[in-house]
Amino acid sequence: MQRRVVLAVVLALAVVLAACGNDNNGKKAKKGAEKSTAAGEVTLGQPLKIVLLAEKKGESPAAIPNFFDGASLAVADLNAKGGVGGHLVDMKTIPAPLDPARAETALLQAFDEKPAGIIGLPASAQVVPLAPKILAGGVPVVLLSAAGTAFRGAQAQGSWAFSIRPRNAGVASDVARFVMDDLKAKKIGLICVNNPFGTTGCDAAEKVVKDKGGQILARRTNEPSATDLTEQVLAMKDADAVIDFNFPNPLGVVANQLVQNGIKAKHADGASSGLAVASGSVKGEAATNLYGVDDCAPTEDQRSVAKDFSAAFKAKNGYDPDYAAAEAYDSVMLLAEATKKARSTEAAKVAAALRTLQYEGLCDPNYKSDSEQILHHQSYFLTFTATGERKVVRRFEVPDPGASSTTTTAG
């Protein structure tokens, strides 16, 4: 009996000691996760895990492959150099359709993966209804859409939501400044697609025009699928310039109807202009009369980082990269840099690092989080030739409304 008691005590002690030993090993491993090598490289205890919420080609009618192709190239580039923190980067893609209910399911699936960061939701129609879930998610989400109305002011600061796209209202204000300062227009007509993108764009442009002493000659709206904008275009006949925040199809209709009606006003739009001209629906005088904007110009950028990216992307995917591919690429790189800076794959530490990180990427030589956690602060003005080639006029900065900065231009 005594022997049995002694044996039991010895066994119990052995179990306790073994458990302590495991715990110590675990602590050692955890400490090891954040240690730096002699060369300054961070060694992480586990791989950097990223979830991409975007659709690949064919996953829905609206799916475009550019986001996945851009992010995949970034992961391949990182892993070719040994990954991050001594581990290969692990990216999981979950399709996030435009339908908000299904996008919500995709977002919840992404949270379940417990990644260090999520990249995705390319449409503001997805982001706006999901904003409360993103804010409570506990994982930094780098949004691929300019969802300006979803996260504003104090709510945005310190939250889990970051945006890789420049502020929509900021771009719209800069387009209005460009039209008034560079094109010397005073009487302005506004055409806005009937959705938050068009309305916020026109509101911001109207404010700039009025602040600068210009005159809003007419303001009109149209449906996203409109194929006839006769009334809207005729209302612009005495304008010096028409600022148009529209989708590519109606933008093409406006551009052509302005010419057909002999209206000589200059025509300025956002990123849709490049898509409309590239489709071939806007050409000749309608194209030379058009000014556009793009978030990113990786194929025109002369920096070696952009040239290398463009060449590698085209070689891998068979088409030239656009802003969507480049911003997805930059998003992966930003999360990798934030992880290195945080010396951890813990979501909260990665988010904190993203808030203070400065990074030279493809689309912005100086990515940094602003008062609403928008990371990207520049875009490009474009012109087009009669045959549809685009030309970058100049780069411009999209200021942070929370900072006392003004618009500056760069070459």
Partner 1 sequence: MPKFIALLASGTAQGAIVALAALGFLLIYKATGVVNFAQGDLITLGAYLAVWTTAELGLSWLPGYALAIAAMFVIGVLLERVAYAPLRGRSVHVVVIATLGAALVMRTAIGIWQGTRPKYLTSPVASRVWRVAGAAVALQRVVIVVVTLVVVALVLWVFQRTAVGRQLRAVAADRETARLYGVRVNRLSMAAFGTSAALAGLAGVLIGPLGSVDQNLGFGVMLGGFAAAILGGFGNLIGVVVGGFLLGVTEQVVGGYWVRTYKSALPFVLMILVIAVRPQGLLTRGAGERL
Does 252 help bind partner 1 (rule: CB under 8 A)? yes
Residue 153 CB, nearest approach to partner 1 (Å): 29
* C-alpha–C-alpha distance, residues 60 and 48, integer Å: 29
Task: Specify the residue, 327 or 372, whose C-beta has the smaller distance to partner 1.
Answer: 327
**Which residue number, 388 or 401, has a Cβ lying nearer to partner 1?**
388
Residue 120: which of 267, 331, 299 has the closest Cα? Answer: 331
- Distance from C-alpha of 401 to C-alpha of 278, rounded to nearest angstrom: 33
Q: Smallest distance, Å, CB 250 to partner 1?
A: 7
CB-CB contact of 249 with 225 (8 Å): yes
- Return the residues of window 254-283 that contact partner 1 according to CB under 8 A: 256-257, 259-262, 275-276, 278-281
Binds partner 1 (CB under 8 A): choice among 43, 60, 105, 109? 60
* Residue (48 or 229) nearer to partner 1, CB: 229
Cα 234 from chain centroid (whole Å): 36
Closest by Cα among 86, 89, 88, 87 to 36: 86
| Contact flag: residue 318 with partner 1 (CB under 8 A) | no
Rounded to the nearest whole angstrom, what is the least distance from the CB of residue 306 to partner 1 in the complex? 22
The reply to whether 62 sits near partner 1 by the rule CB under 8 A is: yes
Distances (CA, A) of 119 to 80, 106, 162, 253, 262: 21, 12, 9, 34, 46
Q: Which of 226, 348, 352, 392 binds partner 1 (CB under 8 A)?
A: 226
State yes or no: residue 37 binds partner 1 (CB under 8 A): no
User: Is the Cβ of residue 106 or residue 287 nearer to partner 1 in the bound state?
Assistant: 287
In the complex with partner 1, the residue whose CB is nearer, 94 or 123, is 123
Q: Residue 203, class by beta-carbon neighbours within 10 Å (0-12 exposed, 13-18 middle, 19+ buried)?
A: middle
CA distance 144 to 250: 24
Site string for partner 1, 202-221 (x = CB under 8 A): ------------------xx
Asked if residue 380 lies in contact with residue 281, where contact means CB atoms within 8 angstroms, the answer is: no
Nearer to partner 1, 260 or 405 (CB): 260
Give the list of residues 6+ apart from residue 233 with CB closer than 8 angstroms, or none: 254, 257, 258, 261, 263
Q: Is 248 in the site for partner 1 (CB under 8 A)?
A: yes
Closest CA to 339 of 29, 33, 2, 15: 33
Question: Where does this chain bind partner 1 (CB under 8 A)?
Answer: 57-58, 60-64, 194, 220-221, 223-228, 230-231, 234, 248-250, 252-253, 256-257, 259-262, 275-276, 278-281, 284
